[in-house]
Amino acid sequence: MSASEWFETIKYIIGWALRGSRRYYLAAFGLLLLAVYGLYLWIFMQHAPIFLGSDKGGLILTAMSDSVPWGIYISFFVFWVGVAAAGIVFAIAAYVFNDKEFKKIAVLGEVQAIAALIIVLLLIVVDMGRPIRALFLMPRLPNLRSMLDWDFIVITGYLLINIIGMLVTVHYYRKDKPLPAKFIVPFMVIAAPFAIGIHTVTAFISQALTARPIWNSPLLAPRYVATAFASGPALLLIALYLAERYIEGFKVSIDVYRKTLYISVIATVVGLYFTLSEVQEIFWYTTEPSKLAQAKELFLGLHVPYLAVLMWLWVGLGSAAVIASLIPSTHNNKKAIVAISALIVVAVIAEKTFTIIIPAFIPSTLGEVRPYYPTPIEYGITVGVHALGLLIYLLLSKPAIKAVMTHYFKHGHEH
């Protein structure tokens, strides 16, 4: 395999990413606009004090404080790590269980992981006070006891793996060749542990801290992984549905939808079960006062009502999705399956953003209750980061699906 052929592949990806209907351009342009606006806000906020020495600007424009040192960025960071981790589900179904239908869409899982990981990395960057310094210092002065370093390693590692996975898939499929086994086997052996690893390590960042009683439970990592496998596949189904709708000639059997939904629903059930277990541990008899206080903030929202709203939204929507998925008639209807997926995605966003991060800080280690409501700038930057991630999702899924179609949908019909 020569280098020029790989160069052709990259050209192929860029070519297809930039080709599309008016609607495609419109969507891409809108996302780009949001992303640029977010970037502008970030430069204004983060770099004014550092590079211009100005006393305007700075992270002081966020609602974070010494009591609540992490906010909306880290909240969504946790959610997207989960989405990225679940990208592997399609690949497992395709290559481990050798399911032909899943082979058509495994690459979509990789694309989703790439987009999610870019969101993840950007969210860390915008959260950091001195990101440029970090770029130089993290590799030079690693602290192997710091979970943040490990998280960085596994996240960039997993990103790399997914980029390779996508490139190779496009490379072979565009020439109508099957993926070679000598690629698939090592790929799966490396990628699967990494997928679990990114989320486990992300949970390890917080769960071993005695300073934060509500995190300080070995259930945190399993809970992260469980809801990751609920939201990730659900999001993939939505993307898949949109792809079927907007890309002519791209059709996937309802089997794929059904099986993916099973995974997602089972993971949701496990997640709900973990929540139940946590509630019992905290509320049934007695518990450490500060943990109880934080749990009350989370479930009753004494000072930050939105936490309780989100937590109960998770319980409510999660249960609703599970119940809806039990109705037999939903199983033969793509639209119904996608609707259930959407429910699950919303439920997991409710469970895995603010509700994970914020209660650990309210009340703080010294008992201070300082409610946290993100400022417009924080929302703006978060939206910008997400826009960029979704743009990447959009641009990469196009060539990926085109390549898949070359291999699996010759002359407009399946073979």
x/- contact string, 79-108, with other proteins (CB under 8 A)?
Answer: ------------------------------
x/- contact string, 29-68, with other proteins (CB under 8 A)?
Answer: -----------------x--xx--xxxxxxxx-x-xxxx-
Question: Which residues fall within 8 angstroms of residue 7, CB to CB, at 6 or more apart?
Answer: none
Query: Binding to other proteins by residue 138, rule CB under 8 A?
Result: yes
Nearest approach in angstroms of CB 253 to other proteins is: 46
Which segments of 128-219 does DSSP mark as H helices, in order?
Answer: 131-140, 147-174, 181-207
Query: Binding to other proteins by residue 146, rule CB under 8 A?
Result: yes
Question: Which residues fall within 8 angstroms of residue 285, CB to CB, at 6 or more apart?
Answer: none
Query: Binding to other proteins by residue 205, rule CB under 8 A?
Result: yes
Nearest approach in angstroms of CB 366 to other proteins is: 4
- How far apart are the C-alpha atoms of 14 and 218, rounded to whole Å? 44
- How far apart are the C-alpha atoms of 111 and 358, rounded to whole Å? 30
Question: Which residues fall within 8 angstroms of residue 106, CB to CB, at 6 or more apart?
Answer: 90, 91, 93, 94, 95, 169
Tokens 């993926």 appear where?
Answer: 179
Residue 171 in tokens: 């490379």
Pick from 171, 212, 259, 398 the residue near other proteins by CB under 8 A: 212
Nearest approach in angstroms of CB 200 to other proteins is: 17
Nearest approach in angstroms of CB 213 to other proteins is: 9
* Segment interacting with other proteins, rule: CB under 8 A, options 177-185, 321-329, 339-347, 363-371: 363-371
DSSP track, 20-70:
--HHHHHHHHHHHHHHHHHHHHHIIIIIHHHHS--SS-SGGGSS--SSS--
Pick from 15, 18, 26, 143 the residue near other proteins by CB under 8 A: 143
Pick from 210, 285, 328, 412 the residue near other proteins by CB under 8 A: 210
* Segment interacting with other proteins, rule: CB under 8 A, options 14-22, 131-139, 306-314, 396-404: 131-139
Nearest approach in angstroms of CB 392 to other proteins is: 24
Closest by CA position to 229, among listed 92, 73, 388? 92
- Residue 16: C-alpha distances to residues 163, 359, 398 (Å): 17, 45, 6
Nearest approach in angstroms of CB 195 to other proteins is: 23
Question: Which residues fall within 8 angstroms of residue 307, CB to CB, at 6 or more apart?
Answer: 297, 298, 301, 354, 355, 358, 359
Nearest approach in angstroms of CB 142 to other proteins is: 8
Question: Which residues fall within 8 angstroms of residue 168, CB to CB, at 6 or more apart?
Answer: 179, 183, 187
Nearer to other proteins among residue 1 and residue 55 (C-beta): 55
Nearer to other proteins among residue 261 and residue 381 (C-beta): 381
Nearest approach in angstroms of CB 357 to other proteins is: 9
Question: Which residues fall within 8 angstroms of residue 194, CB to CB, at 6 or more apart?
Answer: 154, 157, 158, 161
Query: Binding to other proteins by residue 206, rule CB under 8 A?
Result: yes
DSSP state of 19: -
Query: Binding to other proteins by residue 372, rule CB under 8 A?
Result: no
Q: Give CA angle at 235 (231, 239), nearest 5°.
A: 175
The dihedral over CA atoms of 325, 329, 334, 336, expressed in degrees to the nearest 10, equals -60
8 A C-beta contact, residue 102 and residue 256: yes
- The distance of Cα 381 from the centroid of its chain, to the nearest Å, equals 17
Pick from 134, 192, 309, 339 the residue near other proteins by CB under 8 A: 134
Nearest approach in angstroms of CB 135 to other proteins is: 9
8 A C-beta contact, residue 31 and residue 390: yes
x/- contact string, 230-269, with other proteins (CB under 8 A)?
Answer: ----------------------------------------
Query: Binding to other proteins by residue 15, rule CB under 8 A?
Result: no
Query: Binding to other proteins by residue 148, rule CB under 8 A?
Result: yes
Query: Binding to other proteins by residue 286, rule CB under 8 A?
Result: no
Nearer to other proteins among residue 140 and residue 182 (C-beta): 140
Residues forming contacts to other proteins in the complex (CB under 8 A) are 46, 49-50, 53-60, 62, 64-67, 69-70, 127-131, 133-134, 137-138, 141-143, 145-149, 152, 205-206, 209-212, 289-290, 293, 360-361, 363-368
